[in-house]
Amino acid sequence: MNPIKSTLFMTALLIGVQGFSQEIEDKKGIVAKNAELVKVQDGFEFTEGPAVNRFGDVFFTDQPNNRIHKWNALSNEVSVFKEDAGRSNGMYFTLDGTLIACADNKNELWAFDTEGNHEVWITAFKGKKLNGPNDLWVRPKGGIYFTDPLYPRPYWEGRSEESEQDGQDVYFLSADKTELFKVADDLVKPNGIVGTPDSKYLYVSDIGAKKTYKYEVRDDGYLINKELFCEMGSDGMTIDERGNVYLTGDGVTVFDRKGEQIAHIPVPAGWTANVVFGSLERNTLFITAMDAVYTLKMKNRGVW
């Protein structure tokens, strides 16, 4: 998400708070009884990219300030994990504890070890710069899916704000990092992305078309049988143990696996960027929204 130049962001900033309601809509009882939204910390510029490690700690980005922060699930404290983080946006942990990040400063994919040291995994596609990897999902069977919308950044140096690619697409990087190829090239502006823990299905938000699609995932990484999941786009996404999909933008909106809306969690911010399940039990919904991060206790749990 571009916090400075995106028309979508500015619209949300102007109208989002006016329409805010304190009441959580929960048709299926997915939120813990008597749970309330808790502000963990504010004072950031624009929070994004929450990713949970195996201990339940959540790492998230403050992209304008070029930092990755860590929320400790046990102490509820936030600390700085990495300065000069490549303008990281969406992030995801691999099973071995590597933190993969969409490093938007030079439109790359980075990998951080536990000490914050990084390697650059992707710099281009077919010799041309990517638009700006935005969000990603690591497939349990191996390989990484990521979206590549175009949000021109004020900190880009030495490159045009026009795309070098022929579209805004979805890519797959093989587990051994030897193959990078497009898997969806018919979307307006793909953004949020998440898959099922059995690696069978992938959800991709086309925020430009205000729709989210569901795909079947082949073993070789290609996507087949695209179908409309719901008439809503999303900035970030997550999924719970029952297959419910959580979309963001105006708070958090939850759809069951059939694409029917079952809950809406309002957040007191002009834009809710992303969401993930944190804590060791994976029953704490961790939400990034503008200058703050929030938590909400859930009855349903996230998936690892």
pLDDT confidence tier of residue 83, bands split at 50, 70 and 90: very high
Looking at the DSSP bridge assignments, the partners of residue 110 are 101, 120
Each residue of 236-272: pLDDT tens digit? 999 999 999 999 999 999 999 999 999 999 999 999 9
Cα–Cα distance for residue pair 272/237, rounded to 1 Å: 11
Average pLDDT, the chain: 92
pTM over 0.85: yes
Burial letters 6-45, b for 16+ CB under 10 A, else e:
bebbeebeeebeeeeeeebebeeebbeeebebeeeeeebe
Cα–Cα distance for residue pair 74/60, rounded to 1 Å: 16
Proportion of the chain above pLDDT 90, given as a percent: 88
Where are the domains positioned within the chain? 7-297
Residue 68 scores a pLDDT above 50: yes
- Given CATH 1.10.260.40, say whether it is the number of domain 7-297: no
pLDDT the model gives residue 9: 43
